[in-house]
Structure 1
Amino acid sequence: GRPWKFFWLIPYPNWRLLFPNFKSPLVWDVFAISTYLTISTTFLFIGLIPDFAVLRDKETNPTRKRIYSILSLGWRNSDREWRHFAKAYLFLAAFSTPLVLSVHSVVSFDFAMALTPGWHASIFPPYFVAGAIFSGFAMVWTIAIPMRKWFKLEHYITLNHLDATAKVVLFTSMVVGCAYLIEFFIAWYSSVRPEQEFFWNRVFGQWWWAAWIMLLCNMALPMSLWSQKLRRNPAWLFILSLFINLGMWFERFVIVVPSLSHEFEPWQWGGYTPSWIDMAFLVGSFGWFFMWFLLFVKQMPVMAIMELKEIVTPRFKNAHGHGGHH
């Protein structure tokens, strides 16, 4: 509960003469998240190398030109470089995929390894992985759909792309919905009184409003994506993405707060009202994200050359008006 002490979890020789407990899932988190962060950052940077080279060649300001030269790692746009680049990029993509499974499974162990009612469940790892893909795609919509409109990228981010992502969101929504229902079934089937009381309390007790917002946003609204018309409607997908982001935030709330407020000892039961500090952390995290995101959009290309190189037709094909739409 004291995030500013995060360095207590990192295994290094220290003045406290303490070493982290490797049986704790919080320590596994440190390894999973630091690996994920390293690979994701490398993946992003490598994908940007050809773009940095173009910016370097076009830049007139000597300081900025120097920065772009360093970042582009001497890229000369040769055939050999592109070949190695494609292999490295594919390797990193393949390497990142299992990390998605490991990171979100380990994050779920933070809860699943505890004995708290509502947490102690073996379904958490696949449920968190599906939830991560689900909310991740929704966040991509939240960002990409307005940018597609403002920067006129409709020819690059097509309705077919949106349709394909909508199918992924629909599928992961059903997986997450299934996980919610299995949680109730397992609580009933276990015959563990505190567990049963907790789940009853979750939907009909003190925190009913949070649980129903979560179920509505994550299970009910995405069912609209069975309609092809809505899957290909950017305005609806953007609105739905905001609901899904809200629903996934409430999922975190429903997992953390009701479980801790309704543990085994009735004399420990209580409520929770966020303080202004809690709210400031929440608003500040949005500000932190959008600051970096908008700085990136301002300074870097939003569409990678590497992604477009294969779909943009060579100029000589269009000399006589042929081949423009292939």
Structure 2
Amino acid sequence: MTDPAQQQAAAQRIAAIPTRFPAPMGWWVMFLFALCLLALFFVSVAVLFARGPGIWGNNIPVGWGFPISNYIWWLGIGHAGTLISAMLLLVGQQWRNSLNRFAEAMTLFAVMCAGLYPILHLGRPWRFYWMAPYPSTMGIWPQFRSPLTWDFFAVLTYLIVSVLFWYIGIVPDLAAARDRAEKRRWQIFFGLGALGWRGSAAHWHRWQQSYRLTAAIAVPLVVSVHSEISLLMAAGPVPGWVSTVFPPYFVLGAAFSGFAVVSMLTLWLRAMLKLGALVTPRHLNMLGILLLATGLMTAYGYLAEVFTAAWSGGREAETMWDRFVGPYAWSYWGAVVFNFVPLQALWWARVRTSPIALFLIGLSVAVGMWLERYMLLVSSLYRDWLESSEGLFRPTFWDWSLYAGTLGLFLTCFLLFIRFLPVISAFEVREEAQEALDG
């Protein structure tokens, strides 16, 4: 375990990162790459607005293609930030202090990328506010018994709570950065964000109350958001989706993919910003354990899905067999291989604490979970109830370009965050170190 004095020194260095960034060259290289992808995003959206959703590969019967599969994938990635920060805060696990800040930021940007897809998927995206439950001029309200309406409430609530949770947590560090800033522009920038924080006993009391209350609200939202997304599929008559295992299956899969991306970001920031004193082998070991645990739970969902299909027979069994040997078998077996084969190496502590191994396993899981979302949608939709309605889905260039563009949007936002805001909760790290010294 890292020496508490070293932790305190590292926390001081973290608080000074915005004004004295330690890796300007590496940051600029990544930022320029992210800007190129972001430019591709704007081009893809401009072409979409000019020519309509027909530029995508969506067709009949596969009306849900890349936009919805990527929507589910991005939302799943965002869940790990809430679990690491909010749930571990409530149970008093202090090792979260070195990870929670950028994990929460990851949640915000991932949910933002996810929320764009349903809007862009609309034929008239400028009318997206019609999805909101407001009384229209014709007095028509949304169908509140529909999962589509639940989706609007769940995702919007999750985004609002995530923003509040992240912002409440960062206020003390913004005040510390304001007090240490030497240039006037940094003092103004951090001073506006700190909202007059002075660190008084009353401020800390109210802060702890609001921080824990928001965490208590955020944790159930992790379950509700992805459970509701699964009901968009499970509530319909489409073979391959009619399964009661979908809600827990989706929630665990979301946490699985989210922990994978958190592991990748952790290792990247640890190397770029030289955070070895704060992100220790213990943190890597815990991330590896969480990734292994959620992966095994997700694997159980795969087995339960196969058992349910075999037990049900009929079209359910046909759809599962089609996933094994049909035209989209590559996506099913790709998901199995990428998600669960490299994962087994995490049974060994030596692998869990190896930065390169853990990064590669996280990358494999992120790819595998994307293949899973794609497989679940396309392999069930391309064969309709009528043989005359069957048709393969083939993504176009604009499908791929929009997906790459959202990666650029995520990276751009995340890189701006680590450049201009405290990337680790310095005050919580100092408190943990001080408690270790006093104890």
Q: What is the TM-score of this pair, normalised by structure 1? A: 0.92
Query: How far apart are 1:296 and its partner, in Å?
Result: 0.5
1:184 to 281, 306, 309: 306
2:416 corresponds to which letter in structure 1?
A: L
- Using a 3 Å threshold, how does the CA distance of structure 1 residues 27 and 72 change in structure 2: closer, same or farther? same
Residue of structure 1 in register with 2:22 after alignment: none
Residue of structure 1 in register with 2:378 after alignment: 257
| Equivalence map 1:113-152=2 (5 Å) | 113-152=235-274
Give deviations 1:261-312, integer Å, cap 9, x for gaps: 0232222121111111111110111011001000111100111123212233
Q: Distance in 2 between matches of 1:126 and 1:256?
A: 17
| Equivalence map 1:38-117=2 (5 Å) | 38-117=160-239
Q: Distance in 1 between matches of 2:177 and 2:170?
A: 11
1:197 aligns with 2:318: yes
Residue of structure 2 in register with 1:320 after alignment: none
1:277 aligns with 2:402: no
1:34 corresponds to which letter in structure 2?
A: L
Q: Distance in 2 between matches of 1:17 and 1:277?
A: 37
2:409 to 279, 288, 302: 288
Query: How far apart are 1:60 and its partner, in Å?
Result: 4.5
Report if the CA contact (8 A) 1:230-1:237 is conserved.
yes
1:282 corresponds to which letter in structure 2?
A: Y
| Equivalence map 1:200-211=2 (5 Å) | 200-211=321-332
Q: Distance in 1 between matches of 2:128 and 2:358?
A: 37
Query: How far apart are 1:243 and its partner, in Å?
Result: 0.4
Query: After alignment, is 57-66 or 91-100 more displaced?
Result: 57-66
1:156 corresponds to which letter in structure 2?
A: L
Query: How far apart are 1:12 and its partner, in Å?
Result: 1.1
Which has the higher Rg, Structure 1 or Structure 2?
1
- Using a 3 Å threshold, how does the CA distance of structure 1 residues 285 and 16 change in structure 2: closer, same or farther? farther
| Equivalence map 1:303-318=2 (5 Å) | 303-313=424-434
1:298 to 406, 410, 419: 419
Q: Distance in 2 between matches of 1:249 and 1:51?
A: 35
Q: Distance in 1 between matches of 2:128 and 2:342?
A: 37
Instruction: Give the secondary-structure state (helix, strand or coil) at the position aligned to 1:157.
Output: coil
Instruction: Give the secondary-structure state (helix, strand or coil) at the position aligned to 1:75.
Output: coil
Q: Distance in 2 between matches of 1:194 and 1:112?
A: 15
Q: Distance in 2 between matches of 1:183 and 1:7?
A: 36
Instruction: Give the secondary-structure state (helix, strand or coil) at the position aligned to 2:432.
Output: coil
Residue of structure 2 in register with 1:23 after alignment: 145
Q: Distance in 2 between matches of 1:307 and 1:107?
A: 34
2:405 corresponds to which letter in structure 1?
A: G
Give deviations 1:204-232, integer Å, cap 9, x for gaps: 11111111110011222211111111111
Residue of structure 1 in register with 2:106 after alignment: none
Q: Give the gaps of 5 or more residues in structure 1.
A: 318-322
Q: Distance in 2 between matches of 1:232 and 1:292?
A: 28
Query: How far apart are 1:63 and its partner, in Å?
Result: 4.6
Report if the CA contact (8 A) 1:231-1:237 is conserved.
yes
Q: Distance in 2 between matches of 1:47 and 1:184?
A: 43
Instruction: Give the secondary-structure state (helix, strand or coil) at the position aligned to 1:171.
Output: helix
Instruction: Give the secondary-structure state (helix, strand or coil) at the position aligned to 1:311.
Output: helix
Report if the CA contact (8 A) 1:194-1:263 is conserved.
no
Report if the CA contact (8 A) 1:117-1:263 is conserved.
no
Query: How far apart are 1:122 and its partner, in Å?
Result: 0.9
1:212 aligns with 2:333: yes
Q: Distance in 1 between matches of 2:189 and 2:133?
A: 35
1:247 aligns with 2:347: no
Q: Distance in 2 between matches of 1:7 and 1:248?
A: 30
Query: How far apart are 1:64 and its partner, in Å?
Result: 4.3
Instruction: Give the secondary-structure state (helix, strand or coil) at the position aligned to 2:341.
Output: helix
Query: How far apart are 1:17 and its partner, in Å?
Result: 4.7
2:318 corresponds to which letter in structure 1?
A: E
1:226 aligns with 2:347: yes
Q: What is the TM-score of this pair, normalised by structure 2? A: 0.69
Instruction: Give the secondary-structure state (helix, strand or coil) at the position aligned to 1:264.
Output: coil
| Equivalence map 1:150-165=2 (5 Å) | 150-165=272-287
Query: How far apart are 1:253 and its partner, in Å?
Result: 0.2
Report if the CA contact (8 A) 1:47-1:306 is conserved.
no
Instruction: Give the secondary-structure state (helix, strand or coil) at the position aligned to 2:196.
Output: coil
2:189 corresponds to which letter in structure 1?
A: I
RCO greater where, 1 or 2, for CA within 8 Å and sep 6 or more? Answer: 2
2:198 corresponds to which letter in structure 1?
A: R
